[in-house]
Amino acid sequence: MMRAPSLGPNVVTMFSLGEIVARSRAATRNDPWAGAAQDKLVANGIGTGIQAKGQWGDREYRKREKRLWLRWGKICDADGVLNFDGLQALLWREYDEAGEVFIRLRNRRLADGLPVPLQLQVIEAEQCPPHYYAQASNGNQIRAGIEFDAIGRRVAYWMYGQHPGDFHAGADFDATRLRRVPADEVLHIFEPMRAGQIRGIPRATSALVRMFNLDSLDDAVLERQKIANLFGGFFEMDLPEEEEDDGHRVYDELHGRPGDPAADPDGTPLAGLEPGTMGQLPPGWKAKFSEPPSAGSDYPDYYRHGLLAIAARRGVPYEVLTGDLRNVSDRALRLILNEFRRFIEMVQWLVLIPMALQPIREAYLDRAVLAGALDVPGYDELREDVVETLWVPQGWPYSHPVQDVDADIKAIRGGLDTRTAAVLRKGEDPEEVNEQLQADNVDADARGLVLDTDPRKVSTAGLTQARPAGTVLPNNDPGDIP
C-alpha cells in the first residue's frame, strides 16, 4: 500500500527543491528528449515573440509609443545579450526547467542614454535559496527566501549577488551573503500547483526518474550490443585422441600452441578478423560466425511507452516530441494539436503574460512618462487606461490552408467572427494589416493594375466587379415587392 506524508505545499519541497532543480537542468542538458520537449514548448509558446499592442490614445500616439517600445526592446536586457523577444524565450526556458524564474527591474540613469531608463535582469531560481527560513530584523518572516509582512504580502526577496553555483574569479563573492531586494523591483514567475505555494516546481519533476531509467535502458541495450559485436565468430574443431610426449593435446582449443595450426608462429592466437579476410582453416576446423542478440522484441514498445509518459508530463504530444506520425490519421492529428495549443495558451495567458509581460509593460510606461519619453497629461489618473495592452502571441499555422481560410471567411461573412479577430489569431496587428492593404490598393490603382486578389474588382469566381455608369442594382428587400 502506498504511503505518502501529509505535508504542506512548501514543506514538501523545503530541502529537496534544490536537488530537483539540479536534476531537471541536468536532464535538459543531457537527455535529448528532455531538451527536445523544452525546445518544442518554447517554439510554440513564444516563437518569434509575443507582441504588445497598446490600446490607449489616438493613432499618432500609438505609432509613437510603438516605435519607442521597439527601440527599448533592443536594449532592454541588462546583460546586453538578448532583445525583448529573446528574453521571452529565456523566461519560458527557465520557467520550464526550474519551475520558476525571477526578473529584476533595474532602473537606469537618464545619462545612460537609453530610450527608457529601465533594463531587465533575468535571475535564476538558485539565487533565491528555497531553504532560507528566518526572521528579519523588522519582525517579518522569511520563508523560502521570500520576506512576508504581517498580513502575508511579499515585501522583499533575499538573493545572492551572483549565482551560487557559478565560478567567480576573485575574492569579492561571498556564497553565504544574501541581499535584500525590495519586492517592487522583482517579478516572480511561477505556476502554483497548490494553494499557499510560494516557490515553483519543475513541471518535469514526476518524469525525471522515468527519463533516467529510460536513458539507462537505452545505454544498457547499446552496451550489450557493443560487447556482443566484439565477437566476430568462433572456430570449432575436432580434437584428436593422440597426445604429445609432455601430455598436452596437439591443439589447444582456446589459445593454440607455438607451431600448431591454431596459432601464428609467434604464438598469437588465430582469433583476429578483418573486413574481407578469407582465411584457411586447419583440417577438422569449422568457422561459426557470431549471432549477437537483438535489442529484444519488446524494446521498441517499452521505449515508446516511456516516451508517452514523458511527453504527457511535459505537456508535449508524443507525435510532436518525436515526429513519429505512424498510424496517426489527419483527424486525430488535428485533435492532438488542438489539445497542445490549449496547453500552450493556458501557460501564455495564465502565467507568462500576467506575471511577466504585463508588469514589464507597466514598468516601461511608468519610466517612459517619468523620463519624458512619452507625453501623457494626467498620467496618474489615466494610468489604468494607458497601460491597457493587447498581447498578440505568434499565430498558429494552418493545418489545411484552403479549408481553414475558407472556414474563416464563412465565419466572418456569417457574423460569427470578425476580421480583426482573425488577423489577431495569425499573430498580426490589424491596424498594420489595414494600412498595408490600403497602401497596396492605392499603389495598384495608380499603376492601373487589376489583380485577381483584389475583391473590389474581381469576384472569387474570377468575374469583374465593375459596374457600368448608370447601372441600378435590383431591390431585393421583400417589403418593397408589390
Least confident span in 189-193, 217-221, 323-327, 451-455: 451-455
Q: Per-residue pLDDT averaged across 417-443, rounded?
A: 88
Identify residue 254 by its one-letter amino acid code.
Answer: L
Identify residue 18 by its one-letter amino acid code.
Answer: G
pLDDT at 386 exceeding the cut of 90: yes
The tally of CA atoms less than 13 A away on the side-chain side of residue 332 is 9
Q: Which three cell numbers stand for residue 408?
A: 474563416
pLDDT digits (tens, 9 = 90+) for 268-285: 555 555 665 555 666 667
pLDDT digits (tens, 9 = 90+) for 399-420: 888 888 888 888 988 889 898 8
Give strand ranges (E) for 202-337. Answer: 233-237, 285-289
pLDDT at 93 exceeding the cut of 80: yes
Instruction: Please give the full DSSP string across 124-160, using - where no structure is assigned.
Output: -GGGS-TT--EE-TTS-EEETTEEE-TTS-EEEEEE-
Question: What does DSSP say about strands 179-182 and 134-135: parallel, antiparallel, or unpaired?
Answer: unpaired
Q: Confidence class of residue 228 from pLDDT cuts 50, 70 and 90?
A: confident
pLDDT digits (tens, 9 = 90+) for 57-69: 999 999 999 999 9
- What span, in angstroms and rounded, lies between the C-alpha atoms of 280 and 278? 7
- What span, in angstroms and rounded, lies between the C-alpha atoms of 405 and 252? 80
Least confident span in 121-125, 234-238, 331-335: 234-238
Q: Confidence class of residue 258 from pLDDT cuts 50, 70 and 90?
A: very low
Q: Per-residue pLDDT averaged across 87-105, rounded?
A: 97
pLDDT at 232 exceeding the cut of 80: no
Measured from the Cβ of residue 423, the count of other Cβ atoms closer than 10 Å reads: 19
Q: Confidence class of residue 1 from pLDDT cuts 50, 70 and 90?
A: low
Q: Provide the H-helix boundaries in 298-353.
A: 299-314, 318-322, 330-347
- What are the respective helix, strand and coil percentages of the chain, to the nearest 5? 45, 15, 45
Q: What is the pLDDT of residue 473?
A: 57
Q: Confidence class of residue 22 from pLDDT cuts 50, 70 and 90?
A: very high
- What span, in angstroms and rounded, lies between the C-alpha atoms of 188 and 89? 16
Q: What is the pLDDT of residue 293?
A: 64
Q: What is the pLDDT of residue 53?
A: 93
Q: What is the pLDDT of residue 5?
A: 76
Report for 27-41, 263-277, 287-301: range of highest mean pLDDT: 27-41
The tally of CA atoms less than 13 A away on the side-chain side of residue 39 is 11
Distances (CA, A) of 407 to 75, 209, 410, 454: 41, 45, 5, 20
Q: What is the pLDDT of residue 233?
A: 66
Q: Which three cell numbers stand for residue 451?
A: 489583380
Closest to 390 in 3D by CA, of 52, 47, 45: 52
Q: Confidence class of residue 444 from pLDDT cuts 50, 70 and 90?
A: confident
Q: What is the mean pLDDT of the chain?
A: 85
Q: What is the pLDDT of residue 253?
A: 47
Report for 12-26, 69-83, 302-316: range of highest mean pLDDT: 69-83
Between 193 and 244, whose confidence is greater?
193
User: What b-and-e string marks burial along 45-84, b requiring 16 or more CB atoms within 10 Å of the CB?
Assistant: bbbebbbbbbebbeeeeeeebbebbeebbebbbbeeebeb
Q: What is the pLDDT of residue 268?
A: 55
> What is the three-class DSSP state of 312?
helix
- What span, in angstroms and rounded, lies between the C-alpha atoms of 262 and 44? 64
Least confident span in 87-96, 231-240, 454-463: 231-240
Measured from the Cβ of residue 342, the count of other Cβ atoms closer than 10 Å reads: 10
Q: What is the pLDDT of residue 241?
A: 55
pLDDT at 252 exceeding the cut of 80: no
pLDDT digits (tens, 9 = 90+) for 121-178: 999 999 999 999 999 999 999 999 999 999 999 999 999 988 888 876 665 656 568 9
Q: Confidence class of residue 458 from pLDDT cuts 50, 70 and 90?
A: confident
pLDDT digits (tens, 9 = 90+) for 335-371: 999 999 999 999 999 999 999 999 999 999 999 999 9
Q: What is the pLDDT of residue 351?
A: 96
